[in-house]
């Protein structure tokens, strides 16, 4: 059995992956949302489910919230509830994609009253961050156009910068803004923040506490995502990851499911660039579980990240450097592949057991009867779902 060195285990012990509250609500495609028994009916129940993931894995110490989906009257109570269950409230995600007023844009809109409304929504999110103790405001914009000529792309870029400056100015010294990019959808001709370069240009003009968020599902097929990871780490601007998998577009499937090798390559660059267990680089999931059970879906996800992190840490860096220096093409590639092909699962299981965690968290959760329990308890009310 492959053994993991004490140094590697220390690194793994420090790993924390933030869970998205929306992963616990019902979700689907534009064709149908399938409801699951036991789905949370409010943010308190979503946090309780997230805490279960942490209980079985010790890998998920915080939960990202989404405003307005997770709007509550008393954020202090929500925070206490989370802390009682052993987790923290994390990143606050804004939402400017479900309001009729934002049909043609929000932070980029040429109508000043609509742009003002969108800015004010972000200021409200910052107020909430003070109550939840959150550090990061994450902004993903569903803005763009469908037809050439429909909009003045240049003017929109200028207004976006102005809007972001107003939002950034409101942050405290210990708070940050992370700007996510996405190459298309919901707009198909142009998107206002389509790529890391645009996000970088926008946040670099704001200041040190504005960073880029890299969602692994937001690139064109064939994009070398690990190159972007390397570059953003090199520039000190990789603020956070939204991890998920894609086969076709923004699929939001379980991280490491579609292309485990890509996840490995990304984590190799994270390790190489000093991004692992670096407080400046938040690891988050951005996933939806349309047909599979949600809590086990999240457990599987954080385990996939842990497993690939262990493999990335197994790369023999000294040997790799030497092979690269010697222009030993196949030798260098072989060193990387050796780490990728190493099955770390038995060693991780043994290590978990030594820390009082279930060796197999998926099996332990399934045996716990928790899914059946919440299905029986959570009757009445309205289940949380995409958009609520």
- Buried residues in 61-90 as b, exposed as e (16+ CB within 10 A): bbbbbbbebbebeebeebbebbeebebbbb
Q: State which of positions 268-327 bind Zn ion (CB under 5 A).
A: 286
Q: Does 242 bind Zn ion (CB under 5 A)?
A: yes
* C-alpha span between 345 and 334 (Å, rounded): 21
Q: Does 18 bind ligand AOS (CB under 6 A)?
A: no
* C-alpha span between 163 and 73 (Å, rounded): 27
Q: State which of positions 89-128 bind ligand AOS (CB under 6 A).
A: 93
Parallel, antiparallel or unpaired: strands 190-191 and 144-145: antiparallel
Q: Does 242 bind ligand AOS (CB under 6 A)?
A: yes
- Choose from Zn ion, ligand AOS, none: what does 66 bind? Cβ within 5-8 Å by kind: ligand AOS
Q: State which of positions 63-92 bind ligand AOS (CB under 6 A).
A: 66
Q: Which helix (H) or strand (E) holds 240?
A: strand 238-243
Q: Which residues pair with 336 in a beta bridge?
A: none
Q: Which is nearer to Zn ion, 283 or 351 (CB)?
A: 283
137: DSSP letter: E
- Choose from Zn ion, ligand AOS, none: what does 307 bind? Cβ within 5-8 Å by kind: none
CA distances from 329 to 235, 315, 325, 369 (A): 27, 16, 10, 51
- Choose from ligand AOS, Zn ion, none: what does 196 bind? Cβ within 5-8 Å by kind: none
Q: Which is nearer to ligand AOS, 140 or 168 (CB)?
A: 140
Residue of this chain nearest to ligand AOS (CB atom): 140
Minimal CA–CA distance to 53: which of 26, 19, 82, 83?
A: 19
- Choose from ligand AOS, Zn ion, none: what does 237 bind? Cβ within 5-8 Å by kind: none
Q: Which is nearer to ligand AOS, 45 or 242 (CB)?
A: 242
Candidate residues 18, 49, 70, 215; the one interacting with ligand AOS per rule CB under 6 A: 215
CA atoms lying within 13 Å on the CB side of residue 148: 0
Q: Does 250 bind ligand AOS (CB under 6 A)?
A: yes
- Choose from ligand AOS, Zn ion, none: what does 75 bind? Cβ within 5-8 Å by kind: none
Q: Does 18 bind Zn ion (CB under 5 A)?
A: no
To 10 degrees, the CA torsion angle through 269, 270, 272, 278? 170
Q: What are phi and psi of 180, to 5 degrees?
A: -90, 145
Q: How far is the CB of 39 from ligand AOS (least distance, A)?
A: 17
**H helix intervals, the chain:** 6-13, 43-57, 75-84, 112-132, 153-169, 196-204, 225-234, 260-272, 294-313, 317-325, 329-340, 345-354, 361-368, 370-377
Q: State which of positions 158-187 bind ligand AOS (CB under 6 A).
A: 180, 182
Q: Does 143 bind Zn ion (CB under 5 A)?
A: no
Q: How far is the CB of 373 from ligand AOS (least distance, A)?
A: 28
* C-alpha span between 58 and 306 (Å, rounded): 11
Coil, helix or strand at residue 121: helix
Q: Which is nearer to ligand AOS, 17 or 335 (CB)?
A: 17
Candidate residues 9, 22, 70, 238; the one interacting with ligand AOS per rule CB under 6 A: 22
- Choose from ligand AOS, Zn ion, none: what does 181 bind? Cβ within 5-8 Å by kind: none
Task: Give the binding site for ligand AOS (CB under 6 A).
Answer: 22, 66, 93, 140, 180, 182, 215, 242, 250, 286
Binding positions for Zn ion, rule: CB under 5 A: 215, 242, 250, 286
């Amino acid at each position: 059995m492959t053994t993991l060195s004490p140094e590697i285990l220390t690194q793994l012990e420090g790993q924390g992956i933030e869970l998205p509250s929306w992963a616990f609500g019902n979700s689907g495609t534009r064709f149908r949302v399938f409801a699951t028994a036991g789905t949370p009916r409010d943010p308190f129940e979503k946090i309780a489910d997230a805490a279960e993931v942490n209980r079985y894995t010790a890998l998920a110490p915080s939960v990202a919230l989404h405003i307005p989906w997770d709007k509550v009257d008393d954020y202090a109570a929500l925070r206490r509830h989370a802390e009682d269950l052993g987790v923290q409230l994390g990143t606050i995600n804004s939402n400017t994609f479900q309001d009729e007023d934002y049909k043609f844009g929000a932070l980029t809109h040429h109508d000043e009253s609509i742009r003002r409304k969108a800015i004010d929504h972000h200021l409200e999110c910052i107020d909430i961050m003070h109550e939840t103790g959150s550090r990061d405001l994450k902004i993903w914009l569903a803005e763009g156009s469908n037809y050439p000529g429909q909009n003045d792309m240049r003017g929109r870029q200028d207004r976006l910068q102005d809007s972001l400056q107003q939002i950034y100015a409101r942050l405290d010294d210990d708070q940050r803004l992370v700007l996510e990019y996405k190459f298309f959808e919901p707009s198909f001709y142009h998107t206002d923040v389509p790529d890391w370069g645009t996000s970088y240009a926008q946040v670099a003009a704001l200041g040190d506490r504005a960073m880029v968020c890299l969602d692994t599902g937001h690139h064109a097929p064939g994009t070398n995502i690990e190159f972007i990871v390397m570059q953003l780490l090199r520039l000190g601007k990789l603020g956070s990851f939204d991890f998920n998998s894609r086969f076709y577009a923004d699929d939001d499937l379980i991280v490491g499911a579609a292309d485990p090798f890509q996840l490995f390559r990304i984590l190799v660059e994270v390790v190489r660039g000093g991004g692992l267990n670096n407080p400046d680089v938040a690891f988050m999931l951005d996933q939806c579980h349309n047909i599979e059970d949600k809590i086990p879906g999240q457990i599987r996800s954080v385990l996939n990240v842990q497993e690939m992190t262990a493999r990335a840490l197994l790369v023999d860096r000294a040997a790799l450097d030497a092979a690269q220096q010697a222009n030993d093409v196949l030798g260098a590639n072989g060193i990387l592949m050796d780490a990728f092909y190493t099955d770390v699962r038995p060693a991780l299981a043994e290590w978990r057991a030594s820390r009082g965690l279930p060796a197999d968290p998926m099996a332990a959760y399934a045996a716990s009867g928790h899914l059946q329990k919440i299905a029986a308890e959570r009757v009445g009310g309205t289940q949380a779902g995409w958009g609520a």
